[in-house]
Structure 1
Amino acid sequence: MPELPEVEVCRLGISPHIKHQKVTDVVVRHRQLRWPIPQEVHSIVGQNVLSVSRRSKYLLLEFATGTLVIHLGMSGTIRVISVDTPLAKHDHFDLVFAEQKVLRLNDPRRFGAVLWLADHQDEQGLFSKLGPEPLDDEFGEGYLFQKAQKKRVPIKSFLMNNKVVVGVGNIYANEALFIAGIMPTAIAGEISEQRYNRLTAIIKEVLAAAIAQGGTTLKDFTQADGRPGYFAQKLLVYGRSGKPCVNCQTTLEEVRQSNRSSVFCPQCQSE
């Protein structure tokens, strides 16, 4: 599943090709994604894309009359390609632009979304309960410690709660907790403020490094045969259960938390 760095790299990849460009057609091939694609999306024909931004894992394309929201779901990818590029299976949605370019959403599992916020109003409440962006100043020293008070949930589940902070998905929660030396099963409300402040800094570093690394794949967002939305990552623990720890060579172990894999080093990480 694309996580925050992948979605941010997607934003960086498509933005130069569609910003300030006029939409000449909207093509909906399969309306039923996670939610039905609303008929109102056709209202943007003739309008220019004013900006391309991101909130959590949502891409936001701003137009004069509202905001088009795109979510990649579990398996979605998005590209900006020539309008005559042959269709592939699971190509569900196109924005066609005046210069014979098309922004195309491919989503095999159809867990993604294309939504329309008329007059930029979030009437569905998609964003109203979201926590701060992890790379923003609001997510700083003292924040996690304050939010964790009296919380009896495991720290990994706490970090992955979008009401606490957005975009710290399974991969990067594993990685940050390993670097911080905190067991994923540690109780959130029992962790010291000092450890939380260090974890906050590490989360910022891990996500920023992933975005920088993904920047090498920006060209993929304009290649018909590319696989945008994912990129090679130098992971320390995620996906490495049973392999030696990069620090101490102890065998990495795995537990399941909320149907997600948590990989950790029993030597380097503690409760």
Structure 2
Amino acid sequence: MDMDSLFNFIDTFNGETHGTTDYYKETIYIVKDGEFFTPLSYLKKKVEGFDEDLLLKQGYIYDSLELIGDERFSSWYEKQFSRKLKRSHAKKTLFLHLPDNKMIFDAIETVNKSYETLRSQKILFNGKKLPVQLGEWYAKCIFGLMQKKSTSQRGFDFYIGEKRVEVKVHWGDHTSPKGVKVRKSLVDLSDYVVVIYLARNLMIREVCFLDSDFVMRKFSGKGHTVFLKDSDIVSYFFSKSSKHGDKVANANALMKYALPNLAMNLAESFGNQ
């Protein structure tokens, strides 16, 4: 797929209005420069060899309009299609866009330095929220996850296609002997379980991708919680196994945000992707 052709057709689409077409029904839009939106179905028709997976491989990620909000899109939609964006449609709308990875990488370094200062001054003791959200963002980038509004009260769920993914984030240079805690009910509702292990400096120290059926079979003890101990799942760590390497949509993101030791271990499997 020629990216110049893709961008040219995005410009072409945005160069005129489309109020007489059915493109207003589209739920996935490719975004250029943060302000030019184009329906996925239009680009599939126009761009020769269009490949959604290639965009993911090059660093594009899915984001939900419901999650991130975007007043610019609402205005664009109304101008393009001569109709208001309905709330019901907005809930289903996804963007496929390219984040500024250099800016993000620099910000992570800055945040890490700030965390170290606050920890040394005994101000910060619990940094759960930022690491969890950052780890989920890593998972979105690496596996090309779609994030959709949950039908329950949980907020947003992750998907690979139609398969639901439970994402857990562990922050720390070492895992607790008890393992990573996961609610059994959420595993049961999912097809896959992804664990992103973040080092204290907020970089990825390990990744584990598991089939939910395997987790339920192996860890289906009493209680409502599953504990994923390193010793039980180490053979599924990305540093040890390429079993689920085919699930990686963007190997560059995995290598970019991995600790050096992990990146070296992954180089043979993902270095040429």
Q: Output the TM-score relative to the length of structure 1.
A: 0.30
Q: Output the TM-score relative to the length of structure 2.
A: 0.30
Higher relative contact order (CA 8 A, sep 6+): 1
Structure whose residues are more often helix by fraction: 2
